[in-house]
Amino acid sequence: MAGPSLRPHVHWAQRHRELYLRVELSDVQNPDIAITDNVLHFKARGHGAKGDNIYEFQIEFLEPVEPKPVCRVTQRQLNITVQKKESNWWERLTKQEKRPLFLAPDFDRWLDESDAEMELKEKEEEKINKMKIESRVPKDPFRHLKKGYLIMYNLVQFLGFSWIFVNMTVRLFILGKDSFYDTFHTISDMMYFCQTLALMEIMNSLIGLVRSPLIPAVVQIFGRNFILFVVLGSLEEMQSKPVVFFVFYFWSIIELFRYPYYMLSCIGIEWKPLTWLRYTTWIPLYPLGGLAEGVFVNFRHLYKQRKHHLGPKKRKMK
């Protein structure tokens, strides 16, 4: 003959629209919770006041409720949320006037009716204020077009620098150090394209299309373009130097992480590994790239001095 069923301690609280039940059972397994004919049926194995056992109880609610309770199990307890069919304040939880012994108020969440009405009023006011603020902000009719443009821009730049990186890496594996000396002649066209297109980043910042600060963008883009178009474009002797390989390689690695990060940000996606790479790889690469860029500038200065001092002598000898 089976003994009487074990009932767990249950604490309850309410709001105008919801009922909260906290079942004092830890390590709950296989909870069976259902509402039929306005009666909540609960059965589960867990650790309660009588140790590790099967506990069960039934609650017939005072007024109609929705038949689908929401259950959340934690290591220490089980929480059940039940929606009332009508928004009102109940004088008690159960249809029977005498409160069951296993049932007690949840003082951690308990509010009286006036406090609950105040809470409800504050939530409604907060919702109304939020709607007012949103209504004051004019909707941009071109936001989808702008987002599409930014996605395409970052995608094109990513593909361009990916081509540079892959091409240089493959040539390095095949040719070894010999690939250093003709980097400019094989890669310059794509680098010209990418760095010319990068001027759009300055325009994007100027017109407020992106939130990136203007000055750092100007310094980086014009600094690179000065090296690429002015120094390398005017000094053929420099084009075959190994330093060109390292500068182009460092630039491409940095952009391989920067442009995908911006592209995903346009659609509200953040991938943590990519975020880490985008804000970390520049730490070793920027100083190395800056050192290599400094070689260009110094070489150009020395070359000008050479022409200044040796050029007139050559003309006098003729």
- Residues labelled catalytic: 286, 293
Using alpha carbons, list the distances in angstroms from residue 177 to 93, 167, 238, 247: 82, 14, 17, 15
**List of residues 6+ apart from 270 with CB closer than 8 A:** 264
Rg (CA), the chain: 35
Cα–Cα distance for residue pair 25/91, rounded to 1 Å: 27
Q: For residue 272, what are its two tokens?
A: 């943590």
Cα–Cα distance for residue pair 208/152, rounded to 1 Å: 18
**CA nearest neighbour of 50 among 75, 25, 72:** 25
SS3 content of the chain, % helix, strand, coil (to 5): 55, 20, 25
**CA nearest neighbour of 236 among 191, 188, 193, 196:** 188
Cα 108-112-115 angle, rounded to 5 deg: 95
